[in-house]
Amino acid sequence: MPDGREVERLRVLVARCEADAGAVAAAKADGDAMAARIGGDEALRWRIACLRALIEAPPDADAVHEAYGELLDRYRDDAQAMTKLRLLGDEIRRGERDGSLPRVMVARSARKRPNTASET
């Protein structure tokens, strides 16, 4: 069970970063470490705050999609988290359409293709 003081510390950090996405960069290492230890909803809130900071100021064309893909992979078995993440996915696609985010194609994993041609 995580220490109650550390959970509260992460809550305060998340609230600050949700209010000011620019604060994420300075708190990233500490927030990531606490989120890994604590888990649960506070960790998801932290990771979403980090993604929102990337959406506001992407350092490169792939950063938003890579971070979003990592979150989808991490939370794929958590229906409530996936609902929240899909809303962010909608936001990302809107940003791509209006030009505020770059469009990129991300290869998420190797996919096995069915063998449709016969080899002789």
Q: Where are the domains of the chain?
A: 4-96
CA distance 97 to 21: 22
Residue 96 C-alpha from the chain's centroid: 17
pTM of the model: 0.81
Averaged over 27-46, what is the pLDDT?
Answer: 96
pLDDT digits (tens, 9 = 90+) for 50-100: 999 999 998 888 999 999 999 999 999 999 999 999 999 999 999 989 888
Q: Whole-number mean pLDDT of the chain? A: 87
- CB of 28 within 8 A of CB of 45? no
CA distance 31 to 50: 9
Angle at 95 between CA 89 and CA 101, to 5 degrees: 105
In which band, very low, low, confident or very high, does the pLDDT at 109 lie, cut at 50, 70 and 90? low
Structure tokens at 74: 């991490």
In which band, very low, low, confident or very high, does the pLDDT at 45 lie, cut at 50, 70 and 90? very high
